[in-house]
Amino acid sequence: MTHTVLRIDASARRDGSESRALTQRIVDRLEPQSIIQRDLAVAIPTIDADWLAANWTKEEERSDKQRATLALSDSLIEEIKAADTLVIGTPIYNFGIPANLKAWIDQIARAGITFRYTEAGPEGVMTGKRAIIAIASGGTQVGSDVDFASGYLRHVLGFIGITNVQVVAADQLMIDADASHAKANAALEDLAA
């Protein structure tokens, strides 16, 4: 049993979303004691010059405005810290992840907080966690040369220290929905709670 799951839904659709349905099934299988939910259909602001300036100002030197600018980022990172397992549900839009999921990544990938620079290069500090990525696509085959979503998410999660990453895909739904659902069901059965 997983203690705490951070559930992230990136689909713009709330009703009829394949990735949301798949994410729910994964969360049900994990039977967590608690769930933190982050619905990215409610837009996450993209980083801008003010955000960058606040982020690169030493914490003790930040103005109140800079602290306010980073408040959402700080909250998103606390959600990750509180979770044992991240379950990220995302569609593939135009061969990649939705912009709202990219905005979330930009908010949580912070030097000195979720990763640090060492003599050997960047090192993730959010270790000891598990991530399960639930991906739905109409035509893009997960793992193919034109899938720029699953590899990117694995890389970003590894960059912040989460290297135990599994993918459950309902891909190519517009080509063969039955086969896609069967493959996703088999992957779900293989997930350890």
Domain residue ranges in the chain = 4-190
* Rounded CA separation 39/110 (Å): 21
In this structure, what are the phi and psi dihedrals at residue 158, rounded to the nearest 5 degrees?
A: -65, -35
> Alpha helix locations (H) across 6-63?
18-30, 49-56
HSE-CB of 1 using CA atoms within 13 angstroms: 6
* Rounded CA separation 43/3 (Å): 27
Please list, in sequence order, all residues whose beta carbon lies within 8 angstroms of the beta carbon of residue 187, skipping any fewer than 6 positions away.
Answer: 166, 167, 168, 169
Task: Give the model's pLDDT for residue 60.
Answer: 96
Query: How long a stretch of residues is the chain?
Result: 193
The pLDDT averaged over each successive group of 10 residues in the chain (193 residues) is: 89 93 95 96 94 96 97 98 97 96 98 95 96 95 94 97 95 88 85 71
Strand ranges inside 10-163, DSSP E: 34-39, 85-91, 115-118, 121-124, 130-136
| Annotated binding residues | 11, 17-19
Name the pTM for this structure. Answer: 0.93
| Annotated binding residues for FMN | 11, 17-19
Query: What one-letter code names the amino acid at 106?
Result: D
Task: Give the model's pLDDT for residue 193.
Answer: 59
Give the fold, CATH level 3, of 4-190.
Rossmann fold (3.40.50)
8 vs 83, 99, 134, CA distance in Å? 12, 14, 10
